[in-house]
Chains A and B, each alone.
Chain A
Amino acid sequence: MAATAAVSGKRRVSKRQLRDWIAGYLFASPFIIGFSVFIAFPMFYSVYLIFVEWDLLRPPVFVGFANLAQMFKDPKVNLSLYNSAFYTIFAVPIQLTISFTLALALTQKIRFRDFYRAGFYMPIIVPLVASAVVWQRVLHPEFGILNEALGWFGIEPRMWLFEPRLTKPAFIFMSFWMIGRQMVIFIAGLGSIPESLKEAASLDGAGTFGRLRYVILPLMTPLIFYNMVIAIINSFQSFVPAMIMTEGGPQDATLFVVLNIYRNAFQYFNMGYASALAWELFVIVVGFTLFQFYLSRRWVYYEEGE
């Protein structure tokens, strides 16, 4: 029988192997079913929705590529992409710099270090909606803490959420409150750098900045890359602050991509067009991420060979 199987090129699956496979799939079945029903099926269904017009009240009507054509002509699409890109380009590097600097500081032996670590991480567990309401008060033009603090330095109060040129910077500033997650990852990475390497660098005459530049940073590049990819993806998906605080205003200055998708889907009930916009965002983010992975070969150092 084994010879017959060898001649036919097929390996017969033994009963034990089949039993193992069935057991494996059974264990994984809750996840497989949940993923299929709640993630995979909606994703593929939304591809179908790109080619229909659907207002949730009537059955979908096939419209071919009309939604895609509209997407390329709609000025709001370009505006929302610009707003999201602006936010990402400025927010992400500053977030990474602040979180890395904080991580460096909070890996030193200082008093109340654990208290500071917890304090910087705490905003992560606050619901986004609650954060948005609090920040609305912080950015209040008349009673807000931010303008109050700026006043100590002689700076005039600013209309943070009412002037189009100031609203995105205000949102970028807000985003620095949520660097706790990046900081924790950097702290873990810094803790795994062998002391022997830093000592060797010291013996070779490297000072603090020399050790940072030639030992710590290269070894931290994988985590910097990871945090950068995640931060960029999250920045492109920014939605709650714009929805709660400014409704996309003033003058569409905070009309981000996801808010535009939400409006088209749930305010204008144009599900087909919203699906097209959602897949456009997906393609852009995936493309951007792949490009980052390609570039990472030039600057990310992995210790165990490339």
Chain B
Amino acid sequence: MTDAQRSRKRQVSRRSFLQGIGIGSTTLLLAACPAPAPADSGGTGGSAPAAEDIELDFFAWGDASDIPAWEALGNAYTELNPNVTIKPSISGTGVDYYTKLQTTFAGGVVPEVASFQGWEWQPFSDAGLLAPIDAYVERDNFTGPYPEGVDSIEFSTRRDGSRYLIPLQSGVMVMFYAKNVFDEAGVAYPTDDWTFEDFVSIAEQLTSTDGDSKMYGYQANGSYARDIHWIRATGVQEFDELVDPRTAMYDQPEIIEILQFVAQDFMYGLGISPTPADLEGGTNTIDTGNAAMKYEGPWFFPRLNSPELREEGKEIEFDVVLMPQMADESRPHRGWAEGVCVPKSDLVDAAWGFVHYMGGEEGQKTYSTITGRIPNTASLVENFWGPTIEERFGVSNAAAFSNAFLRSEVDVIGGVSRGQIWSEVAKPVAWDPMLANSATAADVVPALNEGVQALLDAHWARQG
């Protein structure tokens, strides 16, 4: 054999090289597939080491005001419990959040803690995916967030006799008003005893759309969810039951009349609210200084006034007041709890430790300070939250939120989600034509009622 032949024999041929690349790529591809998690060895008896390192996956609501709060809470808990690491997965808001969460469950990657709004966790508990927390609540005497007699909390946290949701905030909405608009117009600020007629009169006085810069007395929200308040304040409700309804009842005269007002006349008849076209792109709103009043919740504080906005000179001084008195003398407001649930997993005990911390006094102070949201106990609201929001956001009437919450009721909880009612029926059939001024409430409500009833019927037919 010549030197050249020996050399060629030692060299890797092109074919062998390419084969090696192919085998290597395939091996890498297969190695990228996750290995099955080892079976839990807890059942073999004996207790786990006291300081076992635990990692809790927290599937967290991604609102801009919440993100820094989740990080702060996770870090604070880890400082107290060094063996526990909290991994927040910030996962969007609204429909996006629940799409990702359900897909996560379907994929078998179950987080140990997950954010939920009070009307969205029920399908998960019905499917047996959430751990009931009654035993933990009783063991740790964690009863503060569950005051007796407040239906909105009860319906938002309990189902079929078991408790699932740990409230991190009490949700309620009231009327926000921009003080400077009232001052410039020489109109007195609204008070908690104002009526619907007072509200309309004030809005008309404050509206001025003739010049280049428009001012609207009220920024209507233009959606079913936000208009639920107006419906309930008439003294009727749009379902036979607010939990697991069977009958749609939109076609009551009181509802038709109030929808005509809030979803059309405010914009086109009275002209006190910007139309959806006026609002497109974020223009003509209360936070751009073009509206005097808006129905909102505590998460809206930082949009109007905050230490950061004051530094930049861009704050809008505001305060809040109960929604105006209407036909229902009990003056219901929308209310709910939002917080976290503990999905069933091998780490329910550890997860409870973290959610207990978040829902406890220290965690609540951290969360409420950063987000401005209402804490989950009356004592914290009165002694901590009220002074805090006055200092940070300039809100002096914190009592309006407490008052509203005590008389609050949930939107609708059940198999047909509020979101499905809105996107499948309420928006295309009713709110779109009303907001476009192409049909009146009397024209669209029959079809709205029929459509929602069809959804309810289909849901109950599937339940058998």
The contact string, 1 if C-beta is below 8 Å from chain A, for chain B 420-449, is 100110011100110010000000000000
Are A267 and B428 neighbours in the complex by a CB distance under 8 Å? no
Known: A162-B276, A251-B432. 11 other contacts (CB 8 A): A23-B18, A26-B19, A33-B26, A33-B29, A33-B30, A56-B103, A56-B106, A141-B280, A143-B281, A251-B429, A255-B428
Report which residue of A57, A161, A263 has the largest number of chain B beta carbons within 10 angstroms of its beta carbon: A57
Interface pairs A-B: 3 shortest CB-CB: A57-B127, A56-B106, A252-B428
Question: Is A9 an interface residue, CB under 8 A from the partner?
Answer: no
Question: Is A266 an interface residue, CB under 8 A from the partner?
Answer: yes
Across the interface, which residues of B come within 8 angstroms of A148, CB to CB? none
Across the interface, which residues of A come within 8 angstroms of B194, CB to CB? none
B313 to chain A minimum Cβ distance, whole angstroms, is 25
Question: Is A280 an interface residue, CB under 8 A from the partner?
Answer: no
Q: Which of A57, A76, A247, A252 contacts B102 (CB 8 A)?
A: A57
Question: Is A163 an interface residue, CB under 8 A from the partner?
Answer: yes
Are B281 and A30 neighbours in the complex by a CB distance under 8 Å? no
Across the interface, which residues of B come within 8 angstroms of A263, CB to CB? 423-424
Question: Is A269 an interface residue, CB under 8 A from the partner?
Answer: yes
Known A23-B15, A255-B428; contact A267-B29, beta-carbon cutoff 8 A:
no
CA distance A26 to B277 in the complex (A): 59
Residue on A with the closest CB to B23?
Answer: A26
Q: Which of A137, A159, A248 contacts B277 (CB 8 A)?
A: A159
Question: Is A205 an interface residue, CB under 8 A from the partner?
Answer: no
The contact string, 1 if C-beta is below 8 Å from chain B, for chain A 247-268, is 1111110010000000100111
Across the interface, which residues of B come within 8 angstroms of A143, CB to CB? 281, 283
Are B29 and A34 neighbours in the complex by a CB distance under 8 Å? yes
Known A27-B22, A267-B95; contact A57-B432, beta-carbon cutoff 8 A:
no
- Measured as residues with beta carbon below 8 angstroms from the partner, the interface class of chain B is 35 or more
The contact string, 1 if C-beta is below 8 Å from chain B, for chain A 263-279, is 10011110000000000
Question: Is B105 an interface residue, CB under 8 A from the partner?
Answer: yes
Are B428 and A57 neighbours in the complex by a CB distance under 8 Å? no
Are A136 and B462 neighbours in the complex by a CB distance under 8 Å? no
Residue on B with the closest CB to A59?
Answer: B127
Provide the main secondary structure of the chain A interface. Answer: loop
Known A56-B103, A142-B278, A268-B424; contact A250-B283, beta-carbon cutoff 8 A:
no
Across the interface, which residues of A come within 8 angstroms of B387, CB to CB? none
Residue on B with the closest CB to A27?
Answer: B22
CA distance A26 to B281 in the complex (A): 54
Known A136-B280, A162-B277; contact A30-B22, beta-carbon cutoff 8 A:
yes
Question: Is B347 an interface residue, CB under 8 A from the partner?
Answer: no
Residue on B with the closest CB to A266?
Answer: B99
CA distance A27 to B15 in the complex (A): 11
Question: Is B406 an interface residue, CB under 8 A from the partner?
Answer: no
Question: Is B68 an interface residue, CB under 8 A from the partner?
Answer: no
- Measured as residues with beta carbon below 8 angstroms from the partner, the interface class of chain A is 35 or more
CA distance A251 to B278 in the complex (A): 18
Are A248 and B280 neighbours in the complex by a CB distance under 8 Å? no
Known A27-B22, A251-B433; contact A141-B277, beta-carbon cutoff 8 A:
yes
Q: Which of A30, A250, A267 contacts B423 (CB 8 A)?
A: A267
Are A250 and B278 neighbours in the complex by a CB distance under 8 Å? no
B110 to chain A minimum Cβ distance, whole angstroms, is 11
CA distance A290 to B178 in the complex (A): 62
Report which residue of B102, B276, B280, B462 has the largest number of chain A beta carbons within 10 angstroms of its beta carbon: B280
Report which residue of B22, B419, B429 has the largest number of chain A beta carbons within 10 angstroms of its beta carbon: B22
CA distance A290 to B433 in the complex (A): 40
The contact string, 1 if C-beta is below 8 Å from chain B, for chain A 148-184, is 0000000000010111100000000000000000000
Across the interface, which residues of B come within 8 angstroms of A136, CB to CB? 280-281
Are A27 and B95 neighbours in the complex by a CB distance under 8 Å? no
Question: Is B129 an interface residue, CB under 8 A from the partner?
Answer: yes
Residue on A with the closest CB to B444?
Answer: A251
Are B281 and A137 neighbours in the complex by a CB distance under 8 Å? yes
Across the interface, which residues of A come within 8 angstroms of B15, CB to CB? 23
Question: Is A58 an interface residue, CB under 8 A from the partner?
Answer: yes
CA distance A210 to B376 in the complex (A): 80
Across the interface, which residues of B come within 8 angstroms of A267, CB to CB? 95, 99, 419-420, 423
Question: Is A140 an interface residue, CB under 8 A from the partner?
Answer: yes
CA distance A29 to B424 in the complex (A): 44
CA distance A23 to B16 in the complex (A): 9
Q: 6 A-B pairs, CB-CB below 8 angstroms?
A: A29-B22, A140-B281, A159-B436, A250-B436, A268-B417, A269-B102
Question: Is B180 an interface residue, CB under 8 A from the partner?
Answer: no
Query: Restricting to A106-145, which residues have a CB under 8 Å from any CB of B?
Result: 136-137, 140-143
Question: Is B189 an interface residue, CB under 8 A from the partner?
Answer: no
Across the interface, which residues of A come within 8 angstroms of B271, CB to CB? none
